[in-house]
Structure 1
C-alpha cells in the first residue's frame, strides 16, 4: 500500500528549474514515438519540461529531434532523448506488437481470507484461518503483503511478474491479459524495471495517480505507485531483493524507490486501468489512511530526505512566512523580487515566462505548505492555535485549500505521528530545502 509520500496534485515548484545542455550523438537502442509531458513548453532550441521542471538547450541537430517529437514521429535513441525520458519530459507511446506477451507474465495475488481467484494466477494465502482453498502457497502466520508477494517468487519462471491485490478488478471481460496490453511494450526497453497502470476506485484515492503518464521517481509529480497492481521485471525484482518484509505499509513505495536508485526506469501508464474496491465506510477509510501514514517514519529512515512534506527553497519559504506572519506587503515584495531575479538564470526562456514561472512556484509552494499542515504538521498547529491567532488562520487556510480531503489527511497524519513515536524519528516532519536556480 502507498504511503502518500507527496501530494501528487502539486508538482515540485515550477520556479526550481534545472539547466541541461543536450546533443544528439547516437546512444543506440529503440526507435519509437513519444508523447510530450503536459509541462512541455518550447522556445526555439530551448525546452522547458519535466518534473522537476528542467530547461534543455538543444543543438541544431537536437532541434530536429524536438521537431520530430512534436510532430509525433518516431525518433531514435540518443543522449537528448534519454535525458528527456529521465526527467519525465517525454513518455514512450506503448505501441503493439510488443516482443513480450501474456506467456511472459506470472500474476501473483497475496490474500487474507475470502475466496481465491482461479484464473491461472498464483494465490498466496497470507495466514488465513481457515486456510484459503485454491491457494498455491500457504503462510502459516500473517506476515503482511510484502512477505506474501515474496513467497511466490520461487514459483515464477517468467520474465515478468504482475502483482495484483485480491480486491482489484482487472476490468477485463476476455481474460486477465488485456490490461497488460499497454504495459508490456514498455519492457521492450531493457532499462525499464517496473510499469504500473492507473488504479481507479474511491474518489480522491491516493491509489489513483491521474490520467497523465509519468516517470516514477521520488520528488516528482508521480513519486510512487501502489502495489495494488503493477508489473515488474523479474531480474529487476531479484536485483533489489524483492519487497522489504519489515514494512507492513509502504513496501510498494520502498520497492519503486530502490529500483530507481539501482538504475531501473519505473513508468506509470494510465492508458491501462484497473479498479480497486473502495472502503465501504468513513471509519474504514480513516483506518486505511492512518495505516498509510504509519509507513512514513520507516520509509524516511530508509530513504533520508525523500519523504519530506515540503520541497521548497528559502526564498519561497520566506514569502509564506511573511504572509502568515501578517506582513502581506513584505510577502508580495519578496515574491516579485525573486521572480524578477529568475529571468537571468534561465537564458533562452522569455522574461515574462520566467516571471510567471517563479510566481506559480510560490503559489504551488503555498499548496504544499497547506497540505503539510493538514497531513503531518496539524498536531503542532493545533497546539499553537491555543495561544496564537496566526496558527488558527493557518489551520483554517489549510482546510479551505482542500476541504474534501481534510478528514483522510488528518488520519494520515495520525499514522505518521504514531510511526514517528514508534521509530523515534522526526524525519517525516522536516521540509527539504532546495537552492534557488542558478546557485
Structure 2
C-alpha cells in the first residue's frame, strides 16, 4: 500500500496530481483515479500495482511500511563508528540489546580507549580497533567489511535507537529497488542551552516531518549518516574513503545516479544529542560547509545552491531593484509565465488555477533561494554590498528579519525570537564561511554558482491502468 503525499496538489476531482521529486504534473485516467481511495492505493491486481509503482517512483506517493512484509532484525548488522564518548555509546548499546552490533573504535587514544572497550564488552558488541583515526567514512567501511548480513545500519554513537525503529525501516526493503532508508533525526527533548534549543528546532540533520523520495535537486536531496539502514548489496565499496565531511551526501547521490531508490521516513524518529555550546556548534557548522567544494567536484550537476528559471531570475532582479515599478513589473512577468503555463498544460475546468499556483510557487522558491544565497552562501558578497550601498543594507536587513520570523513561526521553536534570529544568522555565517574556505582551498568555486535552467514544459505524465509491465529496477553496480 502507498499513500499520496500530503504536499501533493490535487485538481480536477483528484485526476490531476502535482508533486513528486522533481515536481511534475500527473494526469490520471478515470479508471486510475478510482483506484486511489482515501489517498491510498493498494496493489491488489496488476493494474493497481502498476499505478502504485508509477506514483512511488515519481515521489508522489510513499509506501506505508505497516502494509509491507516484516523483515527480521536478525538480518541486519549495526555498525557504530566511535571516537571516545563511552557514555553515549553505552546508552546506544543498551537500546540495541539483542542485536548484532559492530563497534569501530576510530583510533581513540589509549588513555580513553579502555573505558570505551569496557562499554563494548558489556554491551555484547563486536569491537574493531583501528590504530589511527581515519574518519567516520573510512571507519564505517571497515565495519561494513565485517558485515555478513543482507542489511546494515550505520548509527552514530550519540543516537538513541531501538530494535523496533530498525524493524520498521527494514520493512521498506520489500521494494527491491531501494538501497537506503533514513529516519528523522530529532534532538533529545529537553530544555537545554539556547543553542541546543535552536538545534532542536532547526538542526542540519533534521529533514522535516514529511516522507520523501530522496534525489538531488529535490526538497529532500540527501540523508544524514547519523542513522541509515541500507541494503548491503547496493553499497558496493560503501562510503568514499578519506571523506571526513559530506560523505553521506556523496553516498546518496552515487546510489541515485546508479539507479537505486533512497527514501526518507520521518515516521521513525531517533533522538540525537545536539551540541549545546556555541563554539563547538559553530565549528561543526563551518566544517559542514567545507564539504560543498568536494561535492561540487564529484557531483557538479547536483551541487548548485540556487537553480532558477530565467523568468524567475528576472522577477527576483526586478524586486531587488527596489523601485516604485519593481512590484508591478515582477507581477507582469509572473502573470505572463502563468499564461504560458496554461497554454502548455491545457488545464481543464477543474485545474484552471494550477498555472497561477505553479508560477506563484516558482516566485516563492526563487525568493527563498535568493535569501539563502545572500545570507548564507554569498554572505561575504552581501556584506560588501551592505557596506557600500544603503539600498543593499535595507534589502539584506529585510531578508534577515523576514527569514528569522518565518522560520521561527514555521518551526514553533522553543526559543524566543531574538535568540532564534541570532542563532539563525550565526548558522548561516558559519556554513557560508565553510563553503568559501573549502572553495578557496580547492581553487574550485562551482559550489557557489547559480544555475539558470531554460524554461520548458513542466514534467508531465499520464497514468492509466494498462496491464503488464514491471516497476523499474536499478542498474546494478
TM-score (norm 2): 0.80
Give, in whole Å, the separation in 2 of the partners of 1:421 and 1:300. Answer: 13
> Equivalent of 2:218, from 214, 217, 220?
220
1:406-421 matches, cutoff 5 A: 406-421=425-440
1:46 paired with 2:11, answer no
Task: Measure how far apart 1:37 and its partner are.
Answer: 4.2
User: 2:8 touches 2:19 (CA, 8 Å); kept in 1?
Assistant: yes
Task: Measure how far apart 1:394 and its partner are.
Answer: 3.3
**Aligned equivalent of 1:198:** 184
**Aligned equivalent of 1:180:** 166
**Aligned equivalent of 1:326:** 322
Cα 1:87/1:59, change in 2 over 3 Å: same
Cα 1:244/1:428, change in 2 over 3 Å: same
Give, in whole Å, the separation in 2 of the partners of 1:33 and 1:369. Answer: 35
**Aligned equivalent of 1:284:** 280
Deviates more, 1:371-380 or 1:329-338: 329-338
User: 2:41 touches 2:52 (CA, 8 Å); kept in 1?
Assistant: no
Cα 1:248/1:71, change in 2 over 3 Å: closer
**Aligned equivalent of 2:71:** 100
Task: Measure how far apart 1:94 and its partner are.
Answer: 0.2
User: 2:68 touches 2:172 (CA, 8 Å); kept in 1?
Assistant: no
Give, in whole Å, the separation in 1 of the partners of 2:24 and 2:284. Answer: 36
Structure 1 residue runs without a partner (length 5+): 1-31, 171-175
User: 1:40 touches 1:50 (CA, 8 Å); kept in 2?
Assistant: no
Cα 1:324/1:385, change in 2 over 3 Å: same
Task: Measure how far apart 1:411 and its partner are.
Answer: 0.5
**Aligned equivalent of 1:358:** 359
Cα 1:97/1:431, change in 2 over 3 Å: closer
> Equivalent of 1:265, from 248, 261, 274?
261
1:296-375 matches, cutoff 5 A: 296-327=292-323, 328=326, 329-348=328-347, 350-375=351-376
Q: For residue 168 of structure 2, give the secondary structure of its aligned residue in structure 1.
A: coil
Q: For residue 65 of structure 2, give the secondary structure of its aligned residue in structure 1.
A: coil
Give, in whole Å, the separation in 1 of the partners of 2:185 and 2:439. Answer: 29
Structure 2 residue runs without a partner (length 5+): 121-125, 188-199, 405-420, 459-477
Task: Measure how far apart 1:245 and its partner are.
Answer: 1.8
Task: Measure how far apart 1:353 and its partner are.
Answer: 2.5
Give, in whole Å, the separation in 1 of the partners of 2:8 and 2:216. Answer: 18
1:391-430 matches, cutoff 5 A: 391-403=392-404, 404=421, 405-430=424-449
Task: Measure how far apart 1:377 and its partner are.
Answer: 0.7
Q: For residue 223 of structure 1, give the secondary structure of its aligned residue in structure 2.
A: coil
Give, in whole Å, the separation in 2 of the partners of 1:78 and 1:188. Answer: 14
Q: Deviations over 1:134-158 (max 9, x none)?
A: 3611111111100010001222111
User: 2:375 touches 2:382 (CA, 8 Å); kept in 1?
Assistant: no
Of Structure 1 and Structure 2, which has the larger fraction of its residues in helix? 2
Cα 1:282/1:402, change in 2 over 3 Å: farther
Deviates more, 1:345-354 or 1:89-98: 345-354
Cα 1:146/1:71, change in 2 over 3 Å: closer
Give, in whole Å, the separation in 2 of the partners of 1:317 and 1:97. Answer: 44
Q: For residue 138 of structure 1, give the secondary structure of its aligned residue in structure 2.
A: strand
Q: Deviations over 1:385-417 (max 9, x none)?
A: 222233323321331232332210110001000
Deviates more, 1:76-85 or 1:350-359: 76-85
RMSD of Structure 2 on Structure 1 (CA): 2.0
User: 2:289 touches 2:431 (CA, 8 Å); kept in 1?
Assistant: yes
> Equivalent of 2:241, from 231, 245, 266?
245
Q: Deviations over 1:7-57 (max 9, x none)?
A: xxxxxxxxxxxxxxxxxxxxxxxxx34343422313243222223321112
User: 1:37 touches 1:90 (CA, 8 Å); kept in 2?
Assistant: no
**Aligned equivalent of 2:140:** 149
**Aligned equivalent of 2:103:** 123
1:164 paired with 2:155, answer yes
User: 2:4 touches 2:40 (CA, 8 Å); kept in 1?
Assistant: no
**Aligned equivalent of 2:231:** 233
Q: Which has the larger radius of gyration?
A: 2
Q: Deviations over 1:37-86 (max 9, x none)?
A: 42231324322222332111233443333x34735544556554333222
Cα 1:387/1:97, change in 2 over 3 Å: closer
User: 1:35 touches 1:93 (CA, 8 Å); kept in 2?
Assistant: no
Q: For this pair of structures, how many residues does the alignment match?
A: 400
User: 1:127 touches 1:141 (CA, 8 Å); kept in 2?
Assistant: yes
Give, in whole Å, the separation in 1 of the partners of 2:295 and 2:222. Answer: 12
Q: For residue 66 of structure 2, give the secondary structure of its aligned residue in structure 1.
A: coil
**Aligned equivalent of 1:432:** 451
Give, in whole Å, the separation in 1 of the partners of 2:402 and 2:22. Answer: 23
